[in-house]
Amino acid sequence: MTSWLKSREKPLQAVHLALGRAGYAKSYRLQHQLHALRCQGKIPDTILTVVHDPVFTIGRSGSRANILVSPEVLTEEGISVYEVERGGDITYHGPGQLVVYPIIDLREQGRDLKRYIRNLEQAVIDCLEELGIVGTRRPEFPGVWVDGQKIASIGVYVKHWVTLHGLALNVAVNKAHFGLINPCGMEIEAVSLNDLLEEAVSLKQAVAVLLSKMEPLFGWQFTKGEVKEFLQERT
């Protein structure tokens, strides 16, 4: 770990808010609400976990040209589309995928965006290792890969040194939905944890393992919170 992390006398307090399954618009609004509160110093680092209804999100360098089907097909499949401010191109979120949104102040993490992204990747790689899977990076392409297939996507946005968006880890996703796009603007194949494991893991198990790997990387100590109560206490 870096010297600024080693020098801490005690861990940073961080709150985990589990949203369960939620539409994209709801969690997007919540991210921005929490971002404003974090910028004002009214909340500590806060990590959202969520499973989205089917959605394609398009980042700043993305294009709707990477959607390979008509709007009518998207309607039939129940897939919505959002253009957002994160980096990267197009990706898919949906049932069977764990999405993690850290709303954190990078001024307490060395003011280093590249390190932040590498730590997100490392948390996934460490999670995979505990489950017996070897995950790797690819230069110039944020995310985590297993034998050339993408198992986790990363796309972030930072304003006033506070982060938005984050990572998505495939646990047991609908591959047919991934097939409706060029993920990340490339012709790549997605893979899920449960494609690679003899004994399937649940989303709840994936959350527990991944967060346990994030804690030491970011110097956090997690407490659990409920969204309604958490916001009422701070707004």
pLDDT band (50, 70, 90) for residue 139: confident
Average pLDDT over residues 193-205: 97
1-6's contacts with Cβ under 8 Å and 24+ in sequence apart are 1/216, 1/217, 1/219, 2/110, 2/115, 4/110, 5/110, 5/219
Q: Is residue 120 part of a domain?
A: yes
Predicted pLDDT of residue 11: 86
pLDDT digits (tens, 9 = 90+) for 9-55: 688 999 999 999 999 999 999 999 999 999 999 999 999 999 999 99
Contact at 8 Å (CB) between 59 and 29? no
Q: Is residue 69 part of a domain?
A: yes
Q: Is residue 229 part of a domain?
A: no
Q: Give dist(CA 88, CA 235) in Å, integer.
A: 32
The answer on pLDDT for 3 being more than 50 is no
Q: How many CB atoms lie within 10 A of CB 117?
A: 18
The answer on pLDDT for 218 being more than 50 is yes
Q: Is residue 6 part of a domain?
A: no
Q: Is residue 223 part of a domain?
A: no
Q: Is residue 224 part of a domain?
A: no
Q: Give catalytic status of residue 184 as yes or no.
A: yes
Predicted pLDDT of residue 8: 58
pLDDT digits (tens, 9 = 90+) for 76-130: 999 999 999 998 899 999 999 999 999 999 999 999 999 999 999 999 999 999 9
- Tally the domains of the chain: 1
Q: Is residue 8 part of a domain?
A: no
Average pLDDT over residues 165-178: 96
Predicted pLDDT of residue 233: 79
* The one catalytic residue among 104, 180, 184, 211: 184
Domain that holds residue 64: 13-217
Average pLDDT over residues 206-218: 97
Q: Is 197 exposed, middle or buried (0-12, 13-18, 19+ CB in 10 A)?
A: middle
Q: Is residue 114 part of a domain?
A: yes
Compute and round to an integer the Cα radius of gyration of the chain.
17
Q: 171: domain CATH number?
A: 3.30.930.10
Classify 216 as helix, strand or coil.
Answer: helix
